[in-house]
């Protein structure tokens, strides 16, 4: 059966249609994937530091700064002393879901898939996004806040302190093991270079409005349109 796919989709390495029933888990990056901003950039923007922080973010997502952990530490250091109120400002006024996200996740849930949010961003936002989208599992970094202000550091969690590309992949594989499924039955969706490790481990990798290096390696690239356009490759 030949499918007429939306013009913004690029398929690589498989021939549609796939069967959604063959997958049991979908893992998502958050910033610029599920939501339309990079939260750390918007926190910086609120206090007049967006240019400095965003430059590091962009270079990291393009893969020009290979060490995500060092990149994140550099950006956080610039935010030392920022009032916690600006996190609420970003959540309430600057953060929006990307087009098609709710429709796509709804279709996955209806098909019986579990969902996972794995983010190099912050639990302040990922916990709220996960609740809004009824996502089953999450992993993200926890900002250290003392006396109502960011310290420029992160809180150590049982799994570690920084959710980088390797941790995203590990969490995907761990969740697959807990569900008793092979990684081939997982979908991974991302936009930046630190999403590639989990995308490479999954049975279907989807690049959503992604950086060139990610689009070039993904099995399905959504270069235009909403995330729900991905449903077109499923019979």
Q: Which residues are part of the catalytic machinery?
A: 29, 31
Output the six-digit token pair for 135.
Answer: 């996502």
Count the Cβ atoms, other than its own, within 10 Å of residue 27: 28
**What is the rounded CA–CA span in Å between residue 18 and residue 133?**
24
Output the six-digit token pair for 227.
Answer: 């995330």
Residue at token pair 């996190």? 87
The count of residues in the chain is 235
Helix/strand/coil for 20 = helix
Best CA proximity match to 70, nearest among 169, 196, 170, 165:
165
Handedness of CA 138, 139, 141, 143 (dihedral sign): positive
């Amino acid at each position: 059966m030949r499918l007429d796919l939306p013009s913004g989709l690029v398929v690589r390495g498989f021939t549609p249609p796939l069967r959604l029933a063959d997958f049991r888990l979908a893992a998502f990056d958050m910033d610029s994937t599920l939501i339309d901003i990079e939260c750390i950039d918007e926190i910086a923007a609120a206090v007049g530091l967006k240019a400095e922080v965003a430059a590091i973010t962009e270079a990291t997502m393009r893969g020009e700064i290979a060490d995500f952990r060092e990149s994140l530490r550099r950006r956080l250091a610039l935010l030392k002393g920022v009032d916690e109120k600006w996190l609420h400002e970003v959540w309430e006024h600057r953060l929006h879901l990307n087009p098609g996200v709710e429709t796509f996740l709804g279709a996955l849930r209806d098909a019986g898939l579990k969902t996972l949010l794995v983010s190099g961003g912050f639990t302040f936002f990922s916990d709220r996004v996960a609740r809004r989208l009824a996502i089953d599992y999450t992993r993200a970094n926890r900002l250290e806040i003392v006396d109502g202000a960011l310290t420029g550091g992160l809180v150590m969690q049982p799994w570690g302190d920084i959710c980088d590309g390797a941790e995203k992949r590990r969490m995907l594989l761990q969740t697959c093991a807990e569900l008793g499924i092979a990684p081939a039955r997982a979908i991974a969706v991302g936009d930046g270079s630190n999403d590639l490790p989990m995308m490479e481990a999954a049975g279907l990798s989807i690049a959503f409005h992604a950086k060139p290096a990610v689009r070039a390696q993904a099995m399905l690239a959504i270069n235009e349109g909403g995330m729900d356009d991905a449903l077109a490759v499923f019979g």
